[in-house]
Amino acid sequence: MANALRIHPEDNVVVALRELSPRADLELSEAGETGVITLEDIPFGHKVAIRRIAQGEAVIKYGASIGVATADIIPGQHVHTHNLRSVRGVVKP
Partner 1 sequence: MNGRDSFLGYRRPDGRVGVRNLVAVIPSCACAHHAASLIASRVPGTALLDYNGGCGETQADIDLATALLAQYGRHPNLVGSLVVSLGCETLNATDLAQRIASGYAPTELLVIQKSGGTRRTAEEGAALAEQMVARARTLQREPCPASALTIGLECGGSDATSGMAANPAMGAFSDLMVAQDARVILAETSELLGAEHILIKRARTAEVGERLLRTMEQCERALKATGEDFMGKQPSPGNVRGGITTVEEKALGDVLKGGTTPVVDVLSYGQPPMRSGLSFMDTPGNDPSSVTGLVAAGSQIVVFTTGRGNPMGHAIAPVIKVTGNARTYAVMGEDMDINASTIILGAETVAQVGRRLYEFCLHVAAGQPTAAEALAHHEFKMLRYGPIY
Query: Which positions lie near partner 1, rule CB under 8 A?
Result: 2, 5, 7, 15-17, 29, 43-47, 61-62, 64-67, 79-81, 84-91
Is 65 in contact with 59 (CB distance < 8 Å)? yes
CB nearer to partner 1: give 17 or 39.
17
The answer to whether 26 and 37 are in contact (CB under 8 A) is yes
CB of 62 to partner 1, least distance (A): 4
- Distance of closest approach, residue 69 Cβ to partner 1, in angstroms: 11
Q: How far apart are CA 88 and CA 93, in angstroms?
A: 9
CA distance 64 to 38: 23
Q: CA-to-CA distance for 57 and 76, rounded, in angstroms?
A: 17
* 16 versus 26: smaller Cβ distance to partner 1: 16
Closest distance of CB 93 from partner 1, Å? 10
